[in-house]
Amino acid sequence: MTLLTSYFASKQPLNKNTHDAFLSLFKGKSSNNGPVYDLWIFDDGNIIYKGISNVEKIGVHKTEISLDVINRIKSFARNLTPNEVGKAKGRENPLTILKFNNRKVVYQSSRAKGNLLELHNLLEYIVININKEL
């Protein structure tokens, strides 16, 4: 626990309001006990992650990603089309809510296609790495 505290204490303080995030992702509950978390990404590369259940890190954690990754996220998000969402089926797969540019997309990751699938995979990769950080 001391390592975690010193790791975050050595970074610049992150006093961000989640409403200021350009993108937010909320991964919901499912019947198969998948991970449940919230993620907020800011223009400057800062990230706020809140692990809720079935994840390695519970609670609020802060980190950052490169501006190159931010640009990739924005590119995928800008180019989403309605036919990439797919229809929600069953309770085994959780609903995921993605918010950006005053848009809200509700989808199941198993039914996502195209840019939505690419964006989802990139965000999942970020979450996996957050859960691996010491």
Identify the three-state secondary structure at position 47.
Answer: strand
In the sheet that holds 36-41, the strands lie side by side as 59-64, 46-53, 36-41, 23-27, 95-100, 103-108
- CA 74 vs. chain centroid, Å, equals 13
Number of domains in the chain: 1
| Domain encompassing residue 39 | 2-132
Q: What is the structure's pLDDT at 134?
A: 56
- Across the range 43-70, mean pLDDT stands at 95
Q: What is the structure's pLDDT at 120?
A: 96
Identify the three-state secondary structure at position 11.
Answer: coil
Q: What is the structure's pLDDT at 12?
A: 46
Contact 80, 61 (CB under 8 A): no
Q: What is the pLDDT of residues 81-129, one digit of tens each?
A: 988 987 767 666 788 999 998 899 999 988 899 999 999 999 999 999 9
